[in-house]
Every structure is written in C-alpha cells, then in structure tokens.
Amino acid sequence: MSNTQETAQSMADAAQYLTFTLGREEYAVDILKVQEIRGYDAVTAIANTPAFIKGVINLRGVIVPIVDLRIKFNVGNATYNEFTVVIILNVLQRVVGIVVDGVSDVIALPPEQTKAAPEFGAALDMKFIKGLGTIDERMIILVDIEKLMSSRDMELMDEALA
C-alpha cells in the first residue's frame, strides 16, 4: 500500500518530457517548453546565415526561425520530406522551431530516474545536458533547451541577449 502511494507520489513529482531522435541518440526536452509539433514546409531562407538556420516560417502571423539540429550537430541525414518534423518551442519568450529526425513520445521521468551526465561523446556539448534518464533500458539525454537556444553558437539571438 505504502509502496503504491510512494509510486504515485513520485509520478506526481515526475517531470514530463517530449523525446525526439537525432541520428541514433534519443533526446528529451521539458514538455512545458514545447508549443506544438508540425511538418516542415514553406521555409523562407535567410541569406548569409549558417547552414543549420534553415530560415523563417509564418506560424499564424508570427515569424519563427527554424533551426535544423541535425545539421547543427552533424547527425542523421538532413533531408526534407512530408515526414520531417519541426518542434515549435517556446523559450525565453521567443518562439523557435527545431528540425529533428523524429518525435517519439511523451514520457514522465521521476527525479530518481534521472542521473547527472558523465563526460561522454554525445553530439551535444555537455553544458547543454541536464542529465540522463532511463526508460525501458533506453538512455535518454535531457537537454537544457533554454541554454542551448540562447547559446552563442546557435546564432539565434543578438549578442546583447545571449
């Protein structure tokens, strides 16, 4: 009895994450930062920007930049078709879209199932990783998406803000 209560308690504490894949690695972002998931279409390129900034889209009247994380972290194949997925994020009062290989699931990770990340060779720099989670024996990399999006090497914001 007390065991179920404990489980219920830890489930309530559990943060919810949206998991997505980049190449063969599985990542997760805080679900509260996710605004929506949509297909990839009608992107207007912006001249003289890095290759991973695909351009801007019109999201119901708001101009939203689109970043292809596959290009940024050099994983997977940066191809665009009707199955290409864009996660629209709401970070630091900005709306940003990221292109990923695929969106898998929404998961709840209780705090005891997340661990600090050891030094390892993920595509992402360690400073953008909050920790590692485990679900069904799979390792999930928890991304500090705010830090990542506001970092200088994403070139998404003016220097003053970053």
User: Which residue's CB is nearer to another protein, number 64 or number 75?
Assistant: 64
From the CB of 97, what's the least distance to another protein, in Å? 9
Give how far the C-alpha of residue 91 lies from the chain's centroid of Cα atoms, to the nearest Å: 11
How far apart (Å, rounded) are the C-alpha atoms in residues 129 and 8?
Answer: 27
Q: How far is the CB of 78 from another protein (least distance, A)?
A: 18
CB 133 to another protein: min, Å: 29
Among 57, 75, 86, 148, binds another protein (CB under 8 A): 57
Residue 5 burial by Cβ neighbours in a 10 Å radius (0-12, 13-18, 19+): exposed
Cα 36 → chain centroid = 12
Does residue 44 touch another protein according to CB under 8 A? yes
Coil, strand or helix: which one is 79?
coil
Q: Give the C-alpha separation, 8 to 11, whole Å.
A: 5
Partners of residue 136 on adjacent β-strands: none
Residue showing tokens 């600090």: 116
Question: Which range binds another protein by CB under 8 A, 1-9, 12-20, 63-71, 79-87?
Answer: 63-71
47 binds another protein (CB under 8 A): yes
Q: Using CA atoms, how far apart are residues 47 and 53, in angstroms rounded to an integer?
A: 10
Tokens 């994380």 label which residue?
69
* Residue 126 touching another protein (CB under 8 A): no
Helix (H) or strand (E) holding 5: helix 2-13
Name residues contacting another protein, limited to 73-112 (CB under 8 A). Answer: 94-96
Mark residues 16-35: x for contact with another protein by CB under 8 A, - for none: --------------------
Taking the least distance from each CB to another protein, the nearer of 12 and 47 is 47
Which residues would be at the binding site for another protein (CB under 8 A)?
A: 42, 44-49, 55-58, 60-65, 94-96, 155-158
